[in-house]
Amino acid sequence: MSRFAAPISEQIWNMKYRFQPGEDGSADKRGDASVEDSWRRIARALAAPEAEPEKWEDRFYGALEDFKFLPAGRITAGAGTERKVTLFNCFVMGTVPDDMGGIFDALREAALTMQQGGGIGYDFSTIRPRGAVVKGVGADASGPLSFMDVWDAMCRTIMSAGARRGAMMATMRCDHPDIEEFIAAKSDAARLRNFNLSVLVTDPFMAAVEADGPWDLEFDGKVYRTVQARDLWNRIMQATYDYAEPGVIFIDRINQANNLAYCETIAATNPCGEQPLPPYGACLLGSINMARLVNDPFGDTAGLDEDALADLVATAVRMMDNVVDASQFPLPQQEAEAQAKRRIGLGVTGLADALLMVGQRYGSKEAAAQTEAWLKAIARAAYLASVDLAKEKGAFPLFDAEAYLSSGTMQAMDEDVRAAVGKHGIRNALLTSIAPTGTISLYAGNVSSGIEPVFAYSYTRKVLQKDGTRTEEEVVDYAVQMWRDRFGDAELPDYFVNAQTLAPADHVRMQAAAQKWVDSSISKTINCPEDISFDAFKDVYMQAWESGCKGCTTYRPNDITGSVLSVSESADVAPGEAPAQIADQTGDSAEIVYMSEPLDRPTELEGMTYKLKWPDSSHAIYITVNDVILGGRRRPFEVFINSKNMEHFAWTVALTRMISAVFRRGGDVSFVVEELKAVFDPRGGAWMQGKYVPSILAAIGGILEQHMVKTGFLAGEGLGLKADPTAEVVNLGSGRGPACSSCGDYAMRMVEGCMTCASCGHSKCQ
C-alpha cells in the first residue's frame, strides 16, 4: 500500500525529492526506488556524525516515516546524495561595504551561495544614499537601489538547486535617506523581481508615528532631511496596499528577543522572513507535521498526542543538529558562523488541519490559545533536548550562561528549562522557527502549510501527460479527506474556515499566539480582501505591532502581483462540490482557443513590423508579428526576426521558428513574453526609453508585449501572465493567478509571504 495520501504527494516526491538512480554520477547507482528509500537515505546521512550511527539511523527513520517529521526540501532532496549542495535553507550575507570593491566582492559571495541553492538576505542600509559625494573620484553616489538592480540581474542567471531561481530579501532601515525610493521600488512590476523587500522599522520610529512627530533620514551621522514619521509610515502602507511590498520587520524587537543579543546584531532576514540572521548567518529548517499527531481526529476524544510530540521533537532536534556537521557551505564564513552557534529552525506544518481535527476554528480565541499551548510544548521539548545534547556533545562554542539567560526569549522560558540551560549549557543557540512549507506540505498529503489556515478545501489540478494532453484530478486538503473518510458526504462543520474567509485580525491573532514560543520568527501571510479600506489595512500592521509580532506581511489582490485564487463565498456551493470558473483580469469570462494541432496558415494575415536598434549593434533588428482572427479575437500567429548582422543569423532564425511554433499551438501564449523579458546577458544590457533592458532577447520580448497590448491580446504592459479562464477549480471563486514557471499551471497563490504553485509546489522562496 502506498505511503502517499494523495497522487499529488507522490508526484511531488518524484519530481522534487526523489534521488534518481545514477543521478549526478553518484557512487550509489541505486537511487530511491520508493519513498521508504528516501527516508532511509536521509536517516543514514544524518546519523553519520553519531558515535552509534546504526542506532540513530533507525530512530531517525522512525521520525521521518509517514511524514511525521519533515526536514526542509534541501535536506530531503540533498542529504546522502553526494551532491555538492548546501543543506541549509537560509543565509544572510556579510555586511555590504560602502565602497565599489567591497560591493562587488559581496555580489560574488551572493552568486556562490545561490549557486548551491541558498536563499539569501541583505541589508542595503550600509550603502550611502543617492547623490552623496564619493570622495576621491569627483562623483556622486548612485545609491543602494542601483546596486540592488545589479544583484537582481545576477540572480536571474543563477539557478538554485532543485531547478529554482535564487530568492533574495533586501532590507533597508526606516531612517535611510533613500527609504522612500526603496518603498516605491516594486511599483515597477519589472524591477527587482527576484527580491522580497522589507523595511526595518525601529521602536523610536513607531513611537514617532504614534506621536505624529518628525523623523530624521540620516546616513553616517549626517541628517539629509526630516520628514513626518506618520507620512513615511503611510507611504509604506500605501505601497503595501497597492502592490504587496515592502513588508515590515520590527527590527528592535527582534534584537531585544534574540538569545544571542550579547554577541551579534541582526539587520536582515532570509527571503521569507522567518529567520532573522547576523552577517554570514545560516539556518536549516524542518517541520513537525501536527496533522499526523492527532488521536481520534474529529472524534469525541480528539486531541494531540503530547508524549509522541515531545519524543518526535527531541529526535528532530538531534537530526537537525547533525545537519550542521553533515552539510556543505558555499562560503567558509558561513560554516564558521553555523558551527559557532549551531542555529536550527524547527517549526510546524499542518497546524490548521490539526486544529480542525480537534474541533477548533482557526483564528478564534480558543484556537489561538491552543496554538500557543502546542508551540510552548514544542519549545520546551526542543530546549530540553538541546540541553541533553549539550551534556553529551558540548554546548555551542559561543555559549555564555549569564548573557544567554538574560535574553528576552529566555526570560520568558519556564524556570526548569532555564535551570537546565544554566547548569549544562545548550547545544543550539536558537531552535524554533516557522518556515514556508508549501512544497513539503503537498508532499506530506496536502496538509495545511506552516501555521497558515487551509487555503482551499479542494481544487482541480490539471496534470500534463506524456502525450501532451492534460488530465484533471481533485486535490483535497488532508483534514477534509480525513473527514470524508470518516463521515462520507456529511456536511463540513461550521468551524471549517479558509484563508480567504478569515478576517485579517484572526490571522494576526494566530501569528501573535505562535510568536510567543518561537525564538526566531514566522513566515505568514495575512490575507486581506481586495475591498478592505486603507485605514483598516493600516490597522492590521498596528495590531501586529501591538500584539508582539516580529514582522508583518500582508497580501491584498492588486494589479501588480495579480490576485490569488480565492475561496468562493456562494451559499449554493458546498466545499468540494460544483466547480467555479476562473475569470480573466477584467473579471469577465473570455474564451481561449486550445488547438491539439497547429492551424494551417491563411493566405493573408494582418501584421506589424517593428524596428529594434540595440545600442551595441551596427545593424537594426526588424521584428514582424502577424496575427490571426479566431472567434472574433486577434491573436499572434507567427513572428519573423531579421537582421543584416550575420552574427545574429542563427539565433534569429531559431527564435523565429520556435516562437511561431508556440503561437500556432494556441492557448495563452503570453508566457513567451515573460520568458524573453527575463533573459539576462552577462555582458550587460542597455538603457532604452528610460528603462534598463537586460538583453537583446528581453528587448524582443518587450516588443512582442507591446504588440499584444496594442492588438488587445494582453490587457496591459507589466501586468504579468493572464489566467486561463477555462480552468476549473473546485470551491474557488473569480480571480486571476500568474502561471507557474515550473509546471505552467495558473495556480500561483501567496502563501507564507511567497508566491507558491498549488499544483506542483514550486516557489522561489523554498
Neighbours of 680 (CB within 10 A): 18
C-alpha cell at 419: 535551570
> Locate cell 502581483: which residue?
561
Residues 119 and 44 in one domain: no
User: In a 3-state reduction of DSSP, which class is residue 478?
Assistant: helix
Residue 178 has pLDDT above 70, yes or no: yes
If you search the block for the grid coordinates 480573466, which residue do you land on?
A: 584
Note whether residue 166 is domain-resident. Answer: yes
Say what the pLDDT of residue 472 is: 80
Regarding whether 106 and 169 lie in a shared domain, the answer is yes
Question: Looking at the structure, do residues 120 and 80 belong to the same domain, yes or no?
Answer: no
57, 245, 264, 274: the catalytic one is 274
Determine which one of 270, 498, 626, 731 is catalytic. 270
Whether the predicted pLDDT of 21 surpasses 80:
no
How many CB atoms lie under 10 A from the CB of residue 597? 8
Q: Are residues 75 and 151 in the same domain?
A: no
Q: Is 14 a catalytic residue?
A: no
Q: Please give the pLDDT value at position 380.
A: 98
Has residue 92 been placed in a domain? no
Tell me which amino acid residue 651 is. Answer: W
Contact 276, 590 (CB under 8 A): no
One domain for residues 107 and 217: yes
How confident is the model over 466-484, as pLDDT tens digits? 555 667 888 899 999 999 9
Residue 662: inside a domain: yes
314, three cell numbers? 527531541
pLDDT tens digit sequence for 587-605:
333 333 344 445 667 778 8
pLDDT digits (tens, 9 = 90+) for 220-242: 999 999 999 999 999 999 999 99
Q: Do 137 and 80 lie in a common domain?
A: no
Domain span at 622: 606-710
Element of type H or E holding 428:
none
Is residue 241 domain-shared with residue 341, that is, in the same domain?
no
User: Which has the higher per-residue pLDDT, 84 or 328?
Assistant: 328
The pLDDT of residue 732 is 29
| Model confidence band, residue 568 (pLDDT cutoffs 50, 70, 90) | very low
Whether 689 maps to a domain, the answer reads yes
Question: At residue 526, does pLDDT exceed 60?
Answer: yes
Higher pLDDT pick, 589 / 118: 118
Residue 490 clears pLDDT 50, i.e. is over it: yes
What is the structure's pLDDT at 450? 95
**Rounded distance, CA 152 to CA 496, Å?**
41
Q: Is the pLDDT of residue 739 over 70?
A: no
Please indicate whether residue 272 is annotated as part of the active site: yes
Q: Which of 666, 691, 710 is the last residue of a domain?
A: 710
**For residue 215, is it within any domain?**
yes
Considering the candidates 90, 155, 174, 272, report the single residue annotated as catalytic: 272
Residue of 614 and 229 predicted with greater confidence: 229
Q: Is residue 590 part of a domain?
A: no
* Structure confidence at residue 544 (pLDDT): 97
Per-residue pLDDT reduced to its tens digit, 47-58: 999 999 999 999
- pLDDT attached to residue 514: 97
Same domain, 330 and 419: yes
Asked whether the whole model's pTM tops 0.85, one would answer no
Judged by average pLDDT, the poorest of 181-190, 205-214, 521-530, 580-589 is 580-589
Strands 195-201 and 247-250: parallel
Question: For residues 649 and 660, what is the distance between their CA atoms, to the nearest angstrom?
Answer: 17
**Same domain, residue pair 189 and 122:** yes
Last residue of a domain, one of 424, 449, 468: 424
Contact assessment for residue 664 and residue 688, using Cβ atoms and an 8 Å cutoff: no
106 in the same domain as 12:
no
**Look-up: residue for cell 542567471?**
157
Q: What is the pLDDT of residue 461?
A: 77
698 in the same domain as 611: yes
Range of lowest pLDDT (154-168, 275-289, 472-486): 154-168
Band of pLDDT at residue 277, cut at 50, 70 and 90: very high
Neighbours of 342 (CB within 10 A): 27
**What pLDDT sits at residue 730?**
28
Lowest mean pLDDT among 24-28, 342-346, 692-696, 703-707: 24-28
Q: pLDDT, tens digit, for every residue of 420-479? A: 999 999 999 999 999 989 889 999 999 999 999 998 898 887 766 655 566 788 889 999
- The total number of structural domains in the chain stands at 3
Question: What Å distances lie between residue 46 and 41, 322, 439, CA to CA?
Answer: 9, 6, 21
Query: Quick one: pLDDT at residue 737?
Result: 54
Residue 645 is a catalytic residue: no
Closest CA relative to residue 16, chosen from 462, 437, 348: 437
Looking at 250, 285, 307, which one is the last position of a domain? 250
- Verify that 122 and 72 share a domain, yes or no: no
The predicted model gives 382-390 an average pLDDT of: 98
Mean pLDDT rounded to a whole number for the chain: 85
d(CA 5, CA 13): 12
* pLDDT reported for residue 135: 78
Question: Is the predicted pLDDT of residue 89 greater than 90, yes or no?
Answer: no
